[in-house]
């Protein structure tokens, strides 16, 4: 991390947004525990880019803004729409908030939101894994090798199956699992190991671009 001093805090009962605002000293990035950060100086815009926004975050559905695949969430019965945001990775600007919200639900209503690019939250998408073509998942996996934030907690706890093994840059996560308990570390190593062939293929594609 470039000249950063990360602080570990417990989530407030009021939710993620309240936790971020109550602990922020100016424009601040707040991430869920377990997420891998590999952020370079040039990955983040200057603070003045955020000055007119309350918060920056990414959509929860990876393909929700993709006209070719945006209907997958509705067809799967998932409660994910164009207005469903992911609070796992956020950047807050406390100066824009008049009050700290009492809960996450409805906290972003009427707020100015700067949409976070996907490379800043390369997240797991369980709906897309089941229905999006393998070629599209592979393209998403290539993006994972260029991403600054790897939001793969769900992979390390529940594993991957089928074409979904092409969707994530799991080899980049391996160096960061040593601090897990022995049980969780063994589980993560097993899940990552099952995807070794696919990860090697996706990495070679990323390096050839």
To which H or E segment does residue 189 belong? helix 182-194
pTM: 0.91
Q: How far apart are CA 90 and CA 59, in angstroms?
A: 11
pLDDT of residue 21: 97
Q: Does residue 63 contact residue 167 with C-beta atoms inside 8 Å?
A: no
Residues sharing a CB contact under 8 Å with residue 68, sequence separation 6 or more, in sequence order: none
Residue 161 tokens read as: 């199956």
CB atoms within 10 A of CB 204: 11
State what percent of residues in the chain have pLDDT above 70.
Answer: 99
pLDDT band at 6 (very low <50, low <70, confident <90, very high): confident
Percent of the chain with pLDDT over 90: 71
pLDDT over 60 (residue 166): yes
CA dihedral 179, 182, 184, 187 (to 10 degrees): 120
- Is residue 169 over pLDDT 60? yes
Q: What are 107-163's pLDDT values in tens digits?
A: 999 999 999 999 999 999 999 999 999 999 999 999 999 999 999 988 888 888 888
- For 16-35, write each residue's pLDDT tens digit: 999 999 999 899 999 998 89
Largest CA distance in the chain: 51
What average pLDDT does the structure give for the chain?
92
CA distance 89 to 122: 10
Q: Which residues pair with 150 in a beta bridge?
A: 36, 122
Name the residue among 144, 116, 125 with its Cα closest to residue 205: 144
């Amino acid at each position: 991390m470039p000249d950063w001093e990360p602080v570990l805090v417990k989530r407030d009962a009021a939710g993620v947004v309240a936790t971020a605002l109550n602990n922020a000293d100016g424009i601040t990035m707040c991430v869920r525990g377990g997420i891998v950060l590999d952020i370079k100086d040039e990955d983040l815009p200057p603070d003045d880019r955020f000055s007119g926004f309350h918060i920056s975050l990414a959509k929860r559905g990876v393909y929700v803004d993709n006209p070719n695949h945006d209907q997958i969430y509705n067809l799967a019965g998932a409660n994910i729409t164009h207005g469903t945001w992911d609070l796992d990775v956020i950047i807050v600007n406390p100066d824009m908030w008049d009050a700290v919200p009492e809960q996450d639900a409805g906290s972003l209503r009427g707020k100015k939101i700067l949409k976070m690019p996907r490379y800043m939250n390369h997240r797991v998408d369980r709906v897309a894994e089941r229905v999006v073509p393998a070629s599209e998942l592979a393209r998403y996996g290539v993006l994972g090798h260029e991403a600054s934030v790897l939001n793969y907690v769900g992979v390390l706890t529940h594993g991957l199956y089928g074409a979904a093994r092409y969707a994530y840059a799991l080899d980049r996560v391996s160096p960061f699992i040593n601090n897990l308990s022995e049980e969780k570390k063994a589980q993560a190593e097993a899940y990552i190991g099952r995807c070794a062939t696919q990860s090697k293929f996706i990495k070679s594609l990323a390096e050839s671009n």
